Amino acid sequence: MTGLVRKATLFAVCGLLAANAAMASTPSAANSDVPDHINWIGYTLGGPGPNLKAGNGTFGGGYLVDQIDAPFTITVRDLNNLPVNNAFVVIDFSACSGLQLCSDQDQAGIVAVCDGQVRGFTGPAGTLTLSVGGHANNTGPPPLSGDTDPNNGLNGAPGCATVSADGVPIAGGASGQPSMIVSAYDHDGNGVSPPDQACYLGDYFGVRNGNIGRDPHRSDYDGSGVVGPADQSLYLGVYFGTNNGNIALSDQNCGTLAVVPECAAIP
């Protein structure tokens, strides 16, 4: 009888250890780090070494999603605040109306799904670092401004992108943490070009509704919550290529280059 008790106790302890181990690897929204704000970016040609090494090189002529002007990192930790390796991370942009993903993100291990998701796996430190290739779908009449783009933060909560890890919400939704705010350097899908500057100025001055000083998030590149001169400085850095050495080439998008299909615009 004593032997049976010992075995039962051993099985119970093993069961508790297994349960604790399973819980320890469960992602925790409170312990994980997700940026409050990200910028969508386009493709770039050449640039310094890190840019050339970032993607899988499927685009002819060396076009890769820009890894220098707009990278961000998500860190997944468990209930014990330990990093979760190989966690399946889903960034869901399906609520980001007016944005348009590139169907091939051209980064190792990063997959775009045209229902508005970008997916990848964390590394040994529980981190996933990437840039998101895409643009805003601002096709309204001139003068272009945030009013023609439904993803301008004027209705509802400012953040639109949610994040989950191994099926556990860690940003937005049921996570208890804020959704990510999403901005885009290319406002009209034609690459970073002068019309985007007009869009920025429209967002800055609020010319279409007379609301001077409003804060549409599409042009808030520094994540400050206000569209201002600092955002224009970041835009010009991308336009002139000062951050990646591409003086002659602004960041282009998938539709502009016509080398990979675009996903449909998020309604």
pLDDT tens for 94-117 read 988 878 899 988 888 999 999 999
- Tell me how far apart the alpha carbons of residues 130 and 261 are, in angstroms, rounded to a whole number: 20
The domain ranges of the chain are 26-257
Cβ neighbours for 24, distance < 8 A, ≥ 6 positions apart: 78, 79, 80, 82
- Tell me how far apart the alpha carbons of residues 53 and 62 are, in angstroms, rounded to a whole number: 10
- Tell me how far apart the alpha carbons of residues 128 and 85 are, in angstroms, rounded to a whole number: 10
Query: 125-139, 199-213, 218-232: lowest mean pLDDT where?
Result: 199-213
This prediction has a pTM of 0.81
Query: Would you state the structure tokens that stand for residue 41, as one six-digit string?
Result: 């970016």
Per the prediction, the chain carries an average pLDDT of 77
Query: Which pLDDT score is estimated for 200?
Result: 82
Say whether pLDDT at 19 is over 80.
no
CB 121 within 8 A of CB 128: yes
If phi > 0 it is left, if psi is from -120 to 50 it is alpha, else beta; for residue 157 that is beta
- Tell me how far apart the alpha carbons of residues 267 and 244 are, in angstroms, rounded to a whole number: 32
Provide the 10 A C-beta neighbour count for residue 237: 15
- Tell me how far apart the alpha carbons of residues 108 and 256 are, in angstroms, rounded to a whole number: 22
pLDDT band at 157 (very low <50, low <70, confident <90, very high): low
β-pairing, 132-136 vs 181-184, is: unpaired
Query: Which pLDDT score is estimated for 34?
Result: 97
Query: Which pLDDT score is estimated for 18?
Result: 42
